[in-house]
């Protein structure tokens, strides 16, 4: 066999693998696919905790941090969209591929992949718990006299859906699930702030910090920073979403992708700002860490909102799982030389769903732990790693506007990465006495 024949064989095998992998298997997406995939990835159930974060931040810092986060993350997301095809004839379809181009083959993998996995796998575990607890809440609201069912069983019921949906082959095939999830996220966000207004402002509303000591206020403030960072985690799947959009020299993928991103960020603003600010305005520091718990009545409306949460986290779980499936299947077929097949995908994906379900059952308080570990990953991948890559690859002139903006984002992102886990760690220590395994 000649060198040319061997190269043709390798190219054919590479194309077969790319056509099979979930990220590169289909490139027929439109700008609206980008829009609702990004809404599904961004507007998670964490939006319901933003009023509580506001109560720990206070009006001035809270509004400032919310608005700054929206602006900075929109800017860094634009950078990633622009860098997707910065090399003519090549597409960086995965976050770690762009990282390797910026930092080097090995260093890029070590910088990006661990952080991306913490975000994606951690978010899926949180959504596994959130879905189970929301189902439990619906059951308790609609069947007051029914027998109590443990959270463990509700998580297993929620997981059973994913043992089916996880076999959707690629991002484009996930479109209808993602669209449903995006609609649900907007719906329960609207219910949260509209029902709050309907209930009316609390008679003795108090906007002072709940903690009585300066130390308690400081740690609560830092913990709230982590809650806000958690709300902006969509960057970890943005390149993978853009990979599904076709690209030509006349119409590069960044144009429809950016159109979808702008639409998605408008939806994000319409969800995040009303929920966080109306919730805090009406409840003050007495707001619960889930605004739906503060509302309580009418029971049927809160049950509907929780059902919307369930549908949303079903779709959001799949959006975050798809890049993990891609990494896992790439490793199996490229490194371990398994042949792409239905059986391989069936086993690998079921094992992943089972893993996230098991961790969710063992640690139903995983959200608290994620606030600690996630601080090291959510802030970098969203707030400042795109800026670092931009500086390395585009090399803007020192003290130019681009250079200054990127360094401001890097400094703020590093502060967020360092400070938010400190507050989360204290929260874990305080709440440890109430934690129950297999509750």
| Tens-place pLDDT, residues 343-359 | 999 999 999 999 999 99
425 pLDDT tier (thresholds 50, 70, 90): confident
366 pLDDT tier (thresholds 50, 70, 90): low
Nearest CA-CA partner of 414 in 384, 370, 382: 384
233 pLDDT tier (thresholds 50, 70, 90): confident
CB 196 within 8 A of CB 279: yes
Report whether pLDDT(74) > 60.
yes
How far apart CA 257 and CA 37 sit, in angstroms, is: 11
CB 83 within 8 A of CB 92: yes
- Note the pLDDT of residue 36: 87
DSSP letters of 122-185? HHHHHHHHHHHHHHHHHHHHH-TTSPP--HHHHHHHHHHHHHHHTT--STGGGHHHHHHHHHHH
CB 287 within 8 A of CB 294: yes
How far apart CA 339 and CA 199 sit, in angstroms, is: 58
Query: Can you give the pTM of this predicted structure?
Result: 0.90
Burial 265-288 (b: 16+ CB within 10 A, else e): bebbeebbbbbbbbbbbbbbbebb
> Average pLDDT, whole number, for the chain?
86
What counts of helices (H) and strands (E) characterise the chain? Answer: 18, 0
Mean pLDDT in residue range 325-330 = 92
DSSP letters of 372-427? HHGGGTHHIIIIIHHHHHHHHHH-PPTTSHHHHHHHHHHHHHHHHHHHHHHHHHHH
- Note the pLDDT of residue 151: 87
Ramachandran region, residue 205 (left: φ > 0; alpha: ψ -120 to 50; beta: rest):
beta
Question: In Å, how far are 161, 197, 238, 387 from 177, measured between CA atoms?
Answer: 12, 31, 17, 32
Report whether pLDDT(66) > 80.
yes
pLDDT digits (tens, 9 = 90+) for 9-35: 666 777 778 778 888 777 888 899 889
- Note the pLDDT of residue 41: 86
How far apart CA 26 and CA 11 sit, in angstroms, is: 18
Report whether pLDDT(274) > 60.
yes
How far apart CA 187 and CA 121 sit, in angstroms, is: 26
DSSP letters of 26-59? -----HHHHHHHHHHHHS-GGGGGHHHHHHHH-H
CB 31 within 8 A of CB 227: no
> Which of 53-56's residues contact partners 24+ apart within 8 Å by CB, and which partners?
53/224, 53/227, 53/228, 53/276, 54/224, 54/276, 54/277, 54/279, 54/280, 54/287, 55/209, 55/210, 55/280, 55/283, 55/284, 55/285, 55/287, 56/209, 56/210, 56/220, 56/221, 56/223, 56/224
Highest mean pLDDT out of 2-6, 223-227, 271-275: 271-275
- The DSSP call for residue 340 is P
Question: In Å, how far are 266, 280, 283, 289, 378 from 209, measured between CA atoms?
Answer: 30, 12, 13, 14, 26
Mean pLDDT in residue range 64-74 = 93
pLDDT digits (tens, 9 = 90+) for 106-118: 999 999 999 889 8
Q: What value does the CA radius of gyration of the chain take, rounded to a whole number of Å?
A: 22
């Amino acid at each position: 066999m000649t060198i040319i024949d061997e190269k043709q064989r390798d190219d054919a095998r590479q194309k077969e693998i790319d056509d099979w992998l979930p990220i590169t298997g289909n490139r027929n997406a439109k700008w609206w696919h980008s829009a609702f995939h990004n809404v599904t990835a961004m507007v998670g159930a964490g939006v319901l905790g933003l009023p509580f974060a506001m109560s720990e931040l206070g009006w001035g810092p809270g509004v400032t941090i919310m608005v700054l986060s929206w602006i900075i993350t929109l800017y860094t997301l634009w950078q990633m969209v622009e860098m997707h095809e910065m090399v003519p004839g090549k597409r960086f379809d995965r976050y770690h591929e762009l990282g390797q181009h910026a930092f080097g083959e090995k260093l890029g993998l070590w910088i990006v992949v661990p952080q991306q996995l913490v975000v994606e796998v951690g978010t899926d575990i949180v959504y596994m718990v959130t879905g189970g607890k929301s189902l439990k809440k619906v059951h308790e609201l609609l069947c007051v006299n029914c027998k109590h069912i443990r959270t463990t069983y509700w998580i297993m019921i929620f997981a059973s859906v994913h043992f089916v949906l996880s076999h959707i082959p690629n991002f484009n095939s996930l479109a209808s699930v993602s669209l449903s999830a995006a609609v649900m996220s907007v719906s329960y966000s609207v219910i949260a702030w509209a029902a709050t207004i309907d209930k009316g402002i609390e008679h003795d509303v108090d906007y002072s910090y709940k903690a009585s000591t300066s130390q308690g206020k400081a740690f609560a403030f830092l913990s709230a920073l982590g809650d806000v960072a958690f709300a902006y985690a969509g960057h970890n799947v943005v390149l993978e979403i853009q990979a599904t959009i076709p690209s030509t020299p006349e119409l590069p993928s960044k144009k429809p992708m950016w159109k979808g991103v702008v639409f998605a960020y408008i939806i994000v603003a319409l969800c995040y700002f009303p929920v966080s600010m109306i919730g805090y305005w009406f409840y003050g520091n007495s707001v619960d860490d889930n605004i739906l718990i503060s509302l309580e009545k009418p029971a049927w409306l809160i049950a509907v909102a929780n059902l919307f949460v369930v549908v949303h986290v079903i779709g959001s779980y799949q959006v975050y799982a798809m890049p993990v499936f891609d990494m896992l299947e790439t490793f199996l077929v490229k490194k371990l030389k398994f042949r792409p097949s239905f059986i391989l995908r069936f086993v690998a994906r079921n094992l992943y769903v089972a893993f996230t379900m098991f961790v969710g059952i063992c640690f139903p308080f995983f959200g608290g732990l994620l606030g600690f570990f996630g601080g090291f990953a959510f802030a970098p991948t969203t707030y400042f790693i795109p800026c670092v890559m931009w500086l390395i690859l585009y090399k803007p002139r020192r003290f130019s506007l681009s250079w200054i903006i990127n360094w401001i984002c890097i400094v703020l992102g590093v502060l967020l990465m360092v400070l938010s886990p400190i507050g989360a760690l204290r929260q874990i220590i305080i709440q440890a006495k109430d934690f129950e395994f297999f509750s």
